[in-house]
Amino acid sequence: MGRRKLVVGNWKMNGMREHLGEVEAIGRVAAAHPSVEVGLCLPATLIMAGSERRGAAFIGAQNCHMDISGAYTGSLSAEMLAEAGATWVITGHSERREARGETNADIAAKSAAAHQAGLNVILCVGETLAVRDAGRAEQVVADQLLASLPEGAAADWLAVAYEPIWAIGTGRIPTMEAVAAMHAALRAALASRIGAEADRMRILYGGSMNGDNAADLLAIADVDGGLVGGASLSAKKFAPIIEAADQQMAAAA
Ligand code: PEP
């Protein structure tokens, strides 16, 4: 069976209670496109209320701690996020790798902790522009993925998101050929570690995905969905991406 497209919004540090109507509207779009798995990774403050109004969309968190509990002021454990209503969590987003100094080992530990708490994981990887310009993107990102992949990673609880750092929030995206080559390289890297399970694992593209480029990106063989920042903040902008994923599912059926 083919891989079900997964389209996930990352609201980052955006969203107040007044925006819960958008969660509800996105939940309705998800219900209208059941071939696609749709989710929203909300700020932690909205997870509980969002999960009550999520419709057919799942609610995720954007980060978790690697320990179950302890003296970590300001942090949230995977278990706490799950209790609040999250069923997924993003790990390794470049905005945390870069600004918070999270290492590959931290990300593997957070991903394992999330799985332990029953959360599914979107593990992010991606290269800087300097690495891409140096022609080393595929090697560097494949190495990063293998170094941050938790023990026992399996497709029923972990998806990978390839997010070129220079494409996040910039309106720039790689060429379709570059995306195809990267996703194929990441699947090959996964196969070297987890064998046939790699064929079942979803690899999302993230970085300035929007209603105009989603159809082309989602048509690439190894692109199994999207991680979407800015264009996920409203149902109006997010719906065309979900629809494009639905069309790809129909075309593949
Ligand atoms: C992201 O931050 O994960 C992201 C993909 O952002 P944007 O879509 O805004 O580039």
Angle at 63 between CA 10 and CA 237, to 5 degrees: 5
Establish whether 115 is a catalytic residue: no
Q: What is the pLDDT of residue 99?
A: 83
Q: What is the pLDDT of residue 132?
A: 98
Token pair, residue 240, equals 């065309």
pTM over 0.85: yes
Question: For the segment 3-39, what is each residue's pLDDT rounded down to a tens digit?
Answer: 999 999 999 999 999 999 999 999 999 999 999 999 9
47 lines ligand 1 (CB under 6 A): no
Q: Whose CA is nearest to atom 8 of ligand 1?
A: 229
Mean pLDDT of 196-201: 98
Token pair, residue 38, equals 């749709």
* pLDDT surpasses 80 at 1: no
Question: For the segment 145-193, what is each residue's pLDDT rounded down to a tens digit?
Answer: 999 999 999 999 999 999 999 999 999 999 999 999 999 999 999 999 9
Mean pLDDT of 43-58: 98
* Centroid of ligand 1 to alpha carbon of 206 (angstroms): 6
Which residue carries 């593209």 as its tokens? 205
Q: Ligand 1, residues 8, 11, 12: which to mutate, most atoms within 8 A of Cβ?
A: 12
Phi, psi of 21 (to 5 degrees): -60, -35
3-state secondary structure string across the chain:
CCCCCEEEEECCCCCCHHHHHHHHHHHHHHHHCCCCEEEEECCHHHHHHHHHCCCCCEEEECCCECCCCCCCCCCCEHHHHHHHCCCEEEECCHHHHCCCCCCHHHHHHHHHHHHHCCCEEEEEECCCHHHHHCCCHHHHHHHHHHHHCCCCCCCCCEEEEECCHHHCCCCCCCCHHHHHHHHHHHHHHHHHHHCCHHHHCCEEEECCCCCCCHHHHHCCCCCCEEEECHHHCCHHHHHHHHHHHHHHHHHHC
Q: Whose CA is nearest to atom 2 of ligand 1?
A: 229
Q: Which domains does the chain have, with CATH numbers?
A: 6-252 (3.20.20.70)
Establish whether 79 is a catalytic residue: no
230 lines ligand 1 (CB under 6 A): yes
In the predicted model, what is the mean pLDDT of the chain?
97
Q: Given pLDDT bands bounded at 50, 70 and 90, which one contains residue 98?
A: confident
Q: Whose CA is nearest to atom 4 of ligand 1?
A: 229
Mean pLDDT of 82-97: 97
